[in-house]
Amino acid sequence: MALLTQEQQRQVEEAVTRAEQRTDAEIVTVLAPRADDYSYIPLLWASLVALLVPAVAHVLIGGLEIYSLLMLQWASFVFLSLIFRLPAITTRLIPPRVRYWRASNLARRQFLEQNLHHTEGRTGVLIFVSEAERYVEILVDEGISRHLDNSDWGTIVSDFTRRVALGHTAEGFIACIDASAELLAQHIPRTQARNQLPNRLVML
């Protein structure tokens, strides 16, 4: 996955700065190329397919000795393990539920690691993206959730997810931040000047 350029990162940072001039919310943006290396996925699929090789070979070819079947099985396992490691193939082998679960877990870890739970007034907002999984999530602390329900973020997240799928991650970030600022300004308007957390895009 292509990372954002320095200029794109600067634009995202400026969007956060503009947004925080309208609301007491502390916005942090995080971009991950992928939520996991999924190193176990190629091995798992290669193992499952290799287990079937002797039976298939016996039916299609027949008459093979045990030693030949075992060699064929091992050769299949090694070959498939290498092929399934290709990123384009690995992504297709991962069930969507697993991809989203891993991305969701990473988002929650980042909420804590970026200290969004320690802001004054508990007004932390995390805008998280994992590109490989095409996963977008907005997490908010209780100071925000008291005023806004999860459903309020649905349209913003859906639009951002669509942009990520099209490869327009930078534009998606800016549009998401602007839309979030509009929503936050209505419910948690700015009451004091403060900037407790960095505005730069966090690249994992």
Map out the domains of the chain as residue ranges.
6-37+96-203, 40-93
Q: Provide the pLDDT for residue 2.
A: 52
Taking the CB of residue 40, how many other CB atoms lie within 10 A of it? 9
State the 10-residue block means of pLDDT for the chain, 204 residues long.
82 95 94 83 84 78 76 86 83 83 94 91 94 92 90 93 93 96 93 86 92
Q: Which two tokens stand for residue 50?
A: 């290799």
Beta bridge mates, 139: 126
Write down the CATH number for the domain with range 6-37+96-203: 3.10.310.50
**Three-state secondary structure of the chain:** CCCCCHHHHHHHHHHHHHHHCCECCEEEEEEECCCCCCCHHHHHHHHHHHHHHHHHHHHHCCCCCHHHHHHHHHHHHHHHHHHCCCHHHHHHHCCHHHHHHHHHHHHHHHHHHCCHHHCCCCCEEEEEEECCCCEEEEEECHHHHCCCCHHHHHHHHHHHHHHHHCCCHHHHHHHHHHHHHHHHHHHCECCCCCCCCCCCCEEC
Contacts of 36 (CB under 8 A, 6+ apart): 102, 106
Q: Provide the pLDDT for residue 1.
A: 45
